[in-house]
Chain A
């Protein structure tokens, strides 16, 4: 499927709207609470956010497929377009740019020009948050959870394990917000257990 076709699906898929500030404030509250619960151990907060995202992603993918009606992707490049132009578009109404492909086609970056989760946010000035906290880390988990559930149409269906992390964030004073997504491995289709 071409990138333009993916954009069209992203534009046309109707979805119930929810107030953006409500989402931003709800998410902000979660992050703030985690920071408090883990005594500003930001590494741990990143980890917890990723885990929460993972659990969301595993469910969200079904909703994504039901709403968008798209089929399987043929390769990882198609997957990237699908994530950026359909997934982010229908759930967050942003369409990050897919770029910086690794030569083996197994790694790419998503550049976010707009990130609704981080509206109104200023990281605490404690000298550590700016270097350690990835505020929107939940998104990395969502991608990991969602992609683990789908599979390619390649010879026999395989599922994929991916890893995603932020490499820069405008909240930290960087020029861009960039997430790096890597394909770790394919998971084979599960067979029914052998009869004993």
Chain B
């Protein structure tokens, strides 16, 4: 079940981590190739999403508005879990500290809410927050892009979720 991309937004509405995965080619059953280059990753979502920094901003704007609308209609404790388009499914998890985790997967994927929560508890808190030498806030993603976090995330997405 392909994961297309993954974003973390901090409480200052800044994208502090972004990762894209190319969809697994059907002919090769190996590890999905990784697209760190923003331009190279655009094929993951068909032709609908423009490459570059824009997508993170768009994703944030969408989840921010959607979350506020959901709370207005459904009450303060309400939250949206995912939404689906004809191309992808967007999964959302927000911590009480206002850190937002977003994952885009293909349409057939089950709910990723637990997976996103696990990423927060077991990867983000352990490897980013508890690293005493990383800054408390992460402007521009400083401190999030450390090896332990990235590698564990890669493993989690390719092995656990695959």
Contacts and interface: CB of A to CB of B under 8 A. Distances in A.
Interface of A: 55, 58-59, 61-63, 65-66, 70-72, 74, 149-151, 153-157, 159, 189-193
B61 to A, nearest CB: 7
B11 interface: yes
Contact of A156 (B11, B71, B95): B71
Residue of B12, B97, B130 with highest tally of chain A CB at under 10 A: B97
A59 B136 CA distance: 7
Contacts of A193: 13
A192 B125 contact: no
Interface string B118-134: 00110011000110000
Interface residues of B, number: 23
Contact of B136 (A58, A150, A189): A58
A192 B57 contact: yes
A71 B136 contact: no
Given A58-B136, A59-B130, A149-B11, A65 B76 contact: no
29 contacts: A55-B136, A59-B129, A59-B130, A62-B95, A62-B99, A62-B129, A63-B130, A65-B95, A65-B96, A65-B97, A66-B121, A70-B96, A71-B77, A74-B76, A149-B97, A149-B98, A150-B97, A151-B96, A153-B77, A154-B76, A155-B76, A156-B68, A157-B98, A189-B98, A190-B13, A191-B13, A192-B60, A192-B61, A192-B64
A191 B76 CA distance: 18
Interface in B27-42: none
Interface of A is mostly: loop
B19 to A, nearest CB: 20
Contact of A192 (B13, B95, B130): B13
Nearest to B64: A192
Interface in B1-56: 11-13
A70 B99 CA distance: 15
A40 B68 CA distance: 51
Shortest Cβ-Cβ A-B pairs, 5 listed: A153-B76, A66-B121, A192-B13, A62-B129, A66-B125
Contact of A62 (B60, B64, B71, B97): B97
Given A150-B96, A159-B11, 12 more contacts: A55-B136, A62-B97, A62-B99, A62-B125, A65-B95, A72-B96, A74-B76, A150-B97, A153-B77, A154-B76, A156-B68, A156-B71
Contacts of B68: 156
Nearest to A61: B97
Which of A55, A62, A149 gathers most chain B CB within 10 Å? A62
A10 B97 CA distance: 19
